Structure 1
Amino acid sequence: MKILAFDTSNKPLSVAVVVDGKVLAHTESTEKKTHSISILPDIKEALKKSDLTIADIDLIAVAKGPGSYTGVRIAVTVAKTLADTLSKNLVGVSSLQLLAADGDQEHILIPLMDARNDNAFAGVYKAVGNKLENVIEDQHTSMEKLFELLKNYDENSLEFINATPRLQELIQNQFPNAKVITTENSLPDAAKLAKLAETIKPVEDVDDFIPTYLRLTQAEHDWYAKGHKDDGNVSYVEEV
């Protein structure tokens, strides 16, 4: 299977082309250019290095969030456009699950994205065969609440991934024996994204595929602050 995978939900932009498990091209960009400017040229270059065209690709894999609102929307929009116009299968992978892939598969994996004020986007994963199973759902949470959810686990089995200095401080105060991988050592990897995508069922309707934010955007906060009610319509800002 020929897979094009990319992630713009975090600071780095990662693109990979993987064919039958072999990485043919892999680029990571931490330049200050916006992902919206870089992503298409990086995809084009990855395909060129792989001696493939976009028409050759069987599956498009994208990190669907949580993460930077703008970053998530960029990747999801590109993925949906390619999948729809070229009639390709599309798989969305949790950005937290992708971070979990950086961890030691023997541990209970807790990927994090710092959401400020001692809050984080977090999930809890466990390796089962060739899959990373979500044992505590991805959520936007306080670190205090997250620690409460983890209290029944042996702290020696815990591995926190993508911790900023502040989150690392909180973790070590609560679980001094847990393993911590800092943000510098846990960058998202599109090659791993492609591998994860092979274990996930493609989306049934590309048009219905939307990013996973896990908390309200500022536009939604403003919408509800003006007295509007949640009527179950997610299209105000989420659809792309």
Structure 2
Amino acid sequence: MKILAFDTSNKPLSVAVVVDGKVLAHLESTEKKTHSVTILPDIKKALTESNLTINDIDLIAVAKGPGSYTGVRIAVTVAKTLADTLHKNLVGVSSLELLAADGDKAHILVPLMDARNDNAFAGVYQNSRDKFVSIIGDHHTSMEKLFEALKEYDENQLEFINATPRLQELIQNQFPNAKIITVEDSLPDAAKLAKLAESKKPVTDIDDFIPTYLRLTQAEHDWYAKGHKDDGNVSYVEEV
């Protein structure tokens, strides 16, 4: 299977082409350019390095969030456009599960994305037969509530991934024996994204595939603050 995988949900941009488990091209970009400027040239470059065209690709894999609102939207929009226009299969993978792939498979893995004010996007995963099983679903939470939920686990088995200096400080105060992988050492990896995508079912309706934000955007927050109601039928985006 020929897989094109990419992730723009975090600060780095990662693109990979993987064919039958072999990585043919792998690009990581930390340039101070917006992902919207670099993603298509990087995809083209990855395909060129692989001696493939976009038409050769069987599956498009994308990190669907949570993460940077703008970053997640960019990757998902590109993935949907390519999959729809070229009639390719599309798989979305949790950006937190992708970060969990950087951890030790023997540990209880807690991937994080700093959401400021001692809050985070977090999930809890365990590896079982080379597949990541979600123990606690991805969610937006205060670190205090996350720590409370983790007290039932042996802290020596806990491994926090993608911790900023502030989150690292909070973790060390609560679980001094837990392992911590910092932001600098846990960059998203599109090659790992491709591997995760292999075991997941493709999206059945590309039009209905949307990013996973896990909390309201500021625009949505302001929308509801003005008295608009969420009736469960019409989304903020559709109403606007």
Determine the C-alpha separation between the residues in 2 that align with 1:226 and 1:159: 42
Aligned: 1:30 with 2:30? yes
The alpha carbon displacement at 1:236 in A equals: 2.4
Determine the C-alpha separation between the residues in 2 that align with 1:8 and 1:56: 23
Determine the C-alpha separation between the residues in 1 that align with 2:234 and 2:193: 26
The aligned residue for residue 63 of structure 1 is: 63
The aligned residue for residue 97 of structure 1 is: 97
The aligned residue for residue 168 of structure 2 is: 168
The alpha carbon displacement at 1:234 in A equals: 5.8
The alpha carbon displacement at 1:130 in A equals: 1.9
The aligned residue for residue 83 of structure 1 is: 83
The alpha carbon displacement at 1:137 in A equals: 0.3
Determine the C-alpha separation between the residues in 2 that align with 1:143 and 1:131: 26
3-state DSSP of counterpart to 1:224? helix
Matched to 2:149, the amino acid is: L
Detail structure 1 runs of 4+ shifted over 6 Å in the superposition.
Answer: none
The aligned residue for residue 6 of structure 2 is: 6
Note closer, same or farther for the CA distance 1:234–1:39 as it changes in structure 2 (3 Å cut). Answer: farther
The aligned residue for residue 16 of structure 2 is: 16
3-state DSSP of counterpart to 1:188? coil
| Residues 93 and 193 in structure 1, CA contact (< 8 A), matched pair in contact too | yes
Matches within 5 A, 1:182-193: 182-193=182-193
Q: Structure 2: where are the runs of 5+ without partners?
A: none
Matches within 5 A, 1:198-217: 198-217=198-217
Determine the C-alpha separation between the residues in 2 that align with 1:41 and 1:123: 32
| Residues 62 and 193 in structure 1, CA contact (< 8 A), matched pair in contact too | yes
Q: Structure 1: where are the runs of 5+ without partners?
A: none
The alpha carbon displacement at 1:156 in A equals: 0.3
Matched to 1:59, the amino acid is: L
**Cα RMSD after superposing both structures:** 1.1
Determine the C-alpha separation between the residues in 1 that align with 2:199 and 2:12: 24
Note closer, same or farther for the CA distance 1:213–1:87 as it changes in structure 2 (3 Å cut). Answer: same
Determine the C-alpha separation between the residues in 2 that align with 1:233 and 1:49: 45
Matched to 1:19, the amino acid is: V
The alpha carbon displacement at 1:232 in A equals: 1.3
- TM-score norm. by structure 1 comes to 0.98
Note closer, same or farther for the CA distance 1:142–1:220 as it changes in structure 2 (3 Å cut). Answer: same
Matches within 5 A, 1:127-138: 127-138=127-138
Q: Which piece of structure 1 moves more, 230-239 or 1-10? A: 230-239
Matched to 2:80, the amino acid is: K
Note closer, same or farther for the CA distance 1:236–1:129 as it changes in structure 2 (3 Å cut). Answer: same
The aligned residue for residue 52 of structure 2 is: 52
Note closer, same or farther for the CA distance 1:145–1:202 as it changes in structure 2 (3 Å cut). Answer: same
Determine the C-alpha separation between the residues in 2 that align with 1:236 and 1:56: 37
> How big is each residue's C-alpha offset from its partner over 1:107-130, in whole Å with a ceiling of 9 and x where there is no partner?
000000000000000000000112
Aligned residues: 239
Determine the C-alpha separation between the residues in 2 that align with 1:234 and 1:128: 39
Determine the C-alpha separation between the residues in 1 that align with 2:173 and 2:14: 33
Determine the C-alpha separation between the residues in 1 that align with 2:48 and 2:16: 12
Matched to 1:15, the amino acid is: V
- TM-score norm. by structure 2 comes to 0.98
The alpha carbon displacement at 1:233 in A equals: 3.8
